[in-house]
Amino acid sequence: MMNTLTKELQFTVRGDERGSLVALESLCEQVPFEIKRVYYIFGTDPEAVRGKHAHHKLKQVLVCVSGACDIRMDDGKERKTVRLDHPAKGLYIEGLIYHEMLNFSRDCVLLVLADAPYYEKDYIRDYNKYLEIVKEKANERTN
């Protein structure tokens, strides 16, 4: 999980004749942390681009429980966009990944599970500062 830009997740769907159910718990295979916060984004303008930040530490699992949106990720070297378009499809994002959410469908409800409460100081919103921090971390690893 460390050196990859993203980890796409496929959740187990417990379906029967009544419909479908996905259950996610803290410290399960798909959510490798204690869930401390849940938030969801809905009613998003399809033209809007949200996110545009990385985190120092926060770990998150994202899932579109309704509709679809794109998650564009950047680790300072590589870029990748993943479309979340099914409630059984998730994305694990570790801290130092700069990410944006865009191309929201009108019915999109993007659910996010996080390993910590909201903490503004954990945000890195400036892209150039983000690149500096990534470089510093890489230097720490090689020295």
Find the shortest distance in angstroms from Cβ 118 to ligand TYD: 4
CB closer to ligand TYD out of 116 and 133: 116
Q: Which residues contact 68 (CB under 8 A, 6 or more apart)?
A: 83, 84, 85, 103, 104, 105, 108
Find the shortest distance in angstroms from Cβ 113 to ligand TYD: 11
Total number of residues that touch ligand TYD (CB under 6 A): 6
Query: How far is Cα 95 from Cα 5, in angstroms, rounded to an integer?
Result: 11
The answer to the question of residue 72 lying near ligand TYD (CB under 6 A) is no
Instruction: Output the furthest CA–CA distance in the chain (Å, rounded).
Output: 58
Structure tokens at 62: 């994202």
Q: Which residues are catalytic?
A: 53
| Binding site residues, ligand TYD, CB under 6 A | 37, 39, 41, 50-51, 118
